[in-house]
């Protein structure tokens, strides 16, 4: 069966510090990968998606970037965090675009 991991579970970072959140998927190959953010009182907003190694599409302009160095690894990064980057970050995978997406446990990020 497939599993998706995210770490860390919780992160408190000062404004201006860098960020690296990691997501890995097990039990499948060549998954489509996604990064979402849930801000307080809002739905899930798609930030990035990837259909393959090194292929990243950005959905919204922002302070964050994504990378996919390996088939089942997806990384969300920032060089300098802003207060507005606080939120709950979720990684998801699917077998193909338009197929059901399955979410990881999420990372709660608090920028102070």
Q: Which residues bind another protein (CB under 8 A)?
A: 4, 6, 9, 32, 41-46, 49, 59, 90-92, 97-98, 100-106, 108
Q: Are the beta carbons of 91 and 4 closer than 8 angstroms?
A: yes
Tokens representing residue 64 in the block: 């964050």
**Least distance from another protein to the Cβ atom of residue 100, Å:** 6
**Total residues belonging to the chain:** 112
Q: Are the beta carbons of 38 and 90 closer than 8 angstroms?
A: yes
Looking at the Cβ atoms of 78 and 101, the one nearer to another protein is 101
Looking at the Cβ atoms of 3 and 17, the one nearer to another protein is 3
Q: Are the beta carbons of 89 and 13 closer than 8 angstroms?
A: no
**Least distance from another protein to the Cβ atom of residue 54, Å:** 18
Whole-angstrom distance, CA of residue 99 vs CA of residue 30: 14
**Least distance from another protein to the Cβ atom of residue 7, Å:** 13
Looking at the Cβ atoms of 26 and 59, the one nearer to another protein is 59
């Amino acid at each position: 069966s497939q599993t998706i991991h995210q770490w860390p579970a919780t992160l408190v970072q000062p404004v201006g510090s860098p960020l690296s959140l990691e997501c890995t998927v097990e039990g499948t190959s060549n998954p489509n990968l996604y990064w979402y953010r849930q801000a307080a009182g809002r739905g899930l907003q798609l930030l990035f998606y990837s259909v393959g190694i090194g292929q990243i599409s950005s959905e919204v302009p922002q302070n964050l970037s994504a990378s996919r160095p390996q088939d089942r690894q997806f990384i969300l990064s920032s060089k300098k965090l802003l207060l507005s980057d606080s939120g709950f970050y979720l990684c998801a995978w699917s077998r193909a675009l338009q197929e059901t997406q399955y979410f990881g446990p999420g990372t709660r990020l608090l920028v102070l």
